[in-house]
Amino acid sequence: GQSLEQPSEVTAVEGAIVQINCTYQTSGFYGLSWYQQHDGGAPTFLSYNGLDGLEETGRFSSFLSRSDSYGYLLLQELQMKDSASYFCAVSGSSNTGKLIFGQGTTLQVKP
């Protein structure tokens, strides 16, 4: 089976940097993805780590350590529009298209 853990809520101020952690337990592992979801909206894909290390996409970066079964999403220069839920998701060891999501972290950005 697969299980993921991430904090339920994080609060930060505009302009700051915030890190959302994700730990996972899986019977097989292919990669870790991150998705953003605004209230009432659909999830949108942010980033993917298939290998250890840091992936950077603009203000967002994602990190993976396969040996620690751990990853994080780093959001820099926070803006009010970044207030949303963020989900980590794991894909299994064979590419079956089976993507399992964590419970999500609600990020509140304050002025």
Partner 1 sequence: NAGVTQTPKFQVLKTGQSMTLQCAQDMNHEYMSWYRQDPGMGLRLIHYSVGAGITDQGEVPNGYNVSRSTTEDFPLRLLSAAPSQTSVYFCASSGDGRYGYTFGSGTRLTVV
9: how many CB neighbours lie within 10 A of its CB? 10
**Farthest-apart Cα atoms in the chain, separation:** 44
Q: Shortest Cβ distance from residue 50 to partner 1 (Å)?
A: 7
Q: DSSP string covering 21-50, please?
A: EEEEEESS--EEEEEEE-TTS--EEEEEES
Q: Give the three-state DSSP class for 63.
A: strand
Q: By C-beta, is 30 or 70 nearer to partner 1?
A: 30
Q: Does 30 bind partner 1 (CB under 8 A)?
A: yes
Q: Shortest Cβ distance from residue 89 to partner 1 (Å)?
A: 8
Q: By C-beta, is 55 or 70 nearer to partner 1?
A: 55
The DSSP output letter for 80 is G
Q: Site for partner 1 (CB under 8 A): which residue of 7, 12, 21, 50?
A: 50
Q: Site for partner 1 (CB under 8 A): which residue of 58, 68, 97, 111?
A: 97
The interface region with partner 1, picked from 14-22, 35-43, 64-72, 73-81 by CB under 8 A, is 35-43
Instruction: Return residues touching partner 1 (CB under 8 A).
Output: 30-31, 33, 35, 41-45, 48, 50, 87, 91, 95-104
